[in-house]
Structure 1
Amino acid sequence: MIVRGIHAMGIGATGAESGKPISEASKQNILRLLRTEEGVYDRAHARTFSFLSAWTYSDAGTFCAAMSRRGLEGCDCVEIVTRNDALFFDTSALLIQSPGRKLTILSFRGTQPQNAINWLTDVSARAENFTAGGRVHGGFQRALRSVWPLLQDLLKAGLGGQSICAQLESTQEKYLSQCGVAKPGGSESAASLASTIAFPEEDERALTPALYITGHSLGGALAALAAALLYAQADAGVFDRNRQTVRSWLRGVYTYGQPMVGDTAFQRVNEELGKKLFRHVYGRDIVPRLPPRIMGDFAHFGQRYDSSDAGWIHGTRPVRQAITLGLSNLIGVLAWFMQDVIPLQGVRLPFSWGHHSPLNYMRTSLEAAPGAEFD
């Protein structure tokens, strides 16, 4: 397991020591996330999380630099990476905590194009029993469980308003913690630096704690499963809080290009959670139709939002499973080739790998011109 931490992203140790305030845009973004009621869809949040899920594919330093420009300046960030080639998982999760310790965001990295282990995770679809009922994609469940023990400890800290960096330091005998030294020039611990950051003018610590979970592609599948596991553990009393407190803590799950994760029984068990799951589907993206029917009986749950010229609109048509893996992928690759390599006008195929790119999801969320995702 690899654990990396960055304190006060976008500010740095020197700025934190001098009490440098976070930007007004970040203040307002954090407060808006905290004020949103559970299960309420917000287009501004969809923009934030589309960027967050896309930049989770990068290293922690690049991610933090990008997110500090997208309204999360001054937040702490912990990256957790687990890999086991024999068990077919290579999982990366990023946990973000606001300066006032009330906002927590969990983002999972999706399938990296050049990562063979990620692809093996995706195709290891043999169903396994899920804790709360139903059956889920075995590869997705193993990938989530590999990072969950540490994530669970950090999430407990977040729910209690404690620093996730301080929580890492308290478990340093078990896990490698670098929160206090990840930024150049930082010599003090993350816990001691945390108190020097200027909080928003309207102190966020007076607001109710909020948790959001997000991810693109495989990351979206892990986000949906993580939310379901959180609900199951709330019922079991794992978080040492009453069931409703933990469930209310989760305000929303925003996924992009998410594949199906469980069967219809799993869908029924998570009917309540589905009111907080917002699945974004761009155009003819092939991945929301996977795994194919030949690999098992899978179904989506939650609310779907489809791409349009006006951004995301609430969808009503069900997304059907593809039939076979080989043929569906062949059609998807061919569609991508005809879209982006040798554009052919008037040719429309039912699936496309080209539509799965996180760029499409960011641009639809932005409702802006190409290139704005790097501003």
Structure 2
Amino acid sequence: MARAAELAHQDEPTVEATAREWGFDRVRHHHTAFRPPFPLRDARAYTLGGRHVLVTAFRGAEPAELRDWLSDATTPPWPGPGGVGTVHHGFAETLRSLWPQVRTALKELRDDDQQVYFTGHGLGGALAMLAGARLHFEDPRLTADGVYTFGQPRTCDPGLAREFNTAFAERTYRFVNHDDVVPQLPPEPVFRHVSALRHIDSRGAVHHTVPLGGGLPDRGRGCVADLLSPASDGIRDHLVSAYVSALEQAAERRG
């Protein structure tokens, strides 16, 4: 799933070539463009179709593109999927622009009861979590078999987080790499995380909780500019390549 999230940052020919290497025979690309003043130029995702599994991966965004979203707790909330709770307006609007394409691809490619997975890094992680929620709360006949996010920002209010945790128990994995700052934002208490944390410490070990003294504490709004600078530890640990490397090394140690 981390490699699939990383692949979402590549161009379409690379996605298709890699999909074939992974054994997926069908690929659908999803793209939408935005107009100013929306801070993103566009949003992208892809869906892989195989005999047993479907994977939709959402592309992330540079933290600098999301600076205002990540530092501002006053962003008006947006109604949550199926009327459950509320979500961050910017994340909801980004998924809304892609969702018809994603839903059409899932309907088309799920022709043999395949399992469905969502994944993404950073903003893509927020979209993956919300996609799982939309599929479950708006179309209860189909619930994703897994949601994997990497460096996901806080995405929703406590009500949706609670309902999501109940619906996706044992099917959600929210990875946070060491001092990655993005999962610490937007600030609480308006926005919350879903559960299922998997924290990667400085040695690459994966924990179900943040070790005592490890990981960044919640930061005040005044520190956000420094924390989101390209040279900060919080941004280096946010890189999708850092997640892939850490998890590959963890897998090798287990193997």
TM above 0.5, yes or no, is yes
Residues 1-375 of structure 1 aligned to structure 2 (within 5 Å): 49-69=1-21, 72-86=22-36, 88=38, 89=40, 90-98=42-50, 100=51, 102-112=52-62, 116=65, 125-130=75-80, 131-161=82-112, 208-235=113-140, 243=141, 246-247=142-143, 250-275=144-169, 276-293=171-188, 297-308=190-201, 309=203, 311-315=205-209, 321-324=218-221, 326-333=222-229, 336-337=231-232, 352-367=234-249
Please identify the structure whose Cα radius of gyration is greater.
1
SS of 1:85's partner is coil
Rate the CA distance shift 1:159–1:147 in 2: closer, same or farther, 3 A. same
**Equivalent-residue separation in structure 2 for 1:120 and 1:81 (angstroms):** 23
CA separation of 1:57 and 1:217: change in aligned 2, threshold 3 A: same
CA distance in 1 between partners of 2:195 and 2:54 (Å): 21
Deviations 1:276-311 (A, max 9, x none): 221000011000001124xx6111113011114354
2:71–2:187 CA contact under 8 A, matched in 1: no
- Rounded to whole Å, the distance in 1 between the matches of 2:186 and 2:220 is 9
Query: 2:253 matched to which residue of 1?
Result: none
Whole-angstrom CA distance in 2 between matches of 1:231 and 1:92: 22
State the identity %. 26
TM-score (norm 1): 0.58
Q: What's the secondary structure of 1:301's corresponding residue?
A: coil
Over aligned residue pairs, what C-alpha RMSD do you find?
Answer: 2.6
Contact persistence 2:70–2:185 (CA under 8 A): no
Amino acid at match of 1:329: A
Q: What are structure 1's unaligned runs of at least 5 residues?
A: 1-48, 162-207, 236-242, 340-351, 369-375
Q: Is the 8 A contact 1:107 1:215 kept in 2?
A: yes
Change (3 A) 1:312 1:65: farther
Give CA deviations for 1:74-112 in whole Å, capped at 9, x if unaligned.
4311111101223624210111001x3x31100000004
State the Cα distance separating 1:274 from its structure 2 match: 3.9
Structure 2: distance between partners of 1:120 and 1:61:
33
| 1:332 CA displacement | 4.7
Mapped contact 1:217–1:259 kept (Cα < 8 A): yes
Tell whether the 8 Å contact from 2:19 to 2:25 is kept in structure 1 after alignment: no
Distance 1:364 1:234 in 2: 35
Give the Cα–Cα distance (whole angstroms) in 2 for the partners of residues 212 and 153 of structure 1.
15
Q: 1:225 to 1:209 in 2, by over 3 A?
A: same
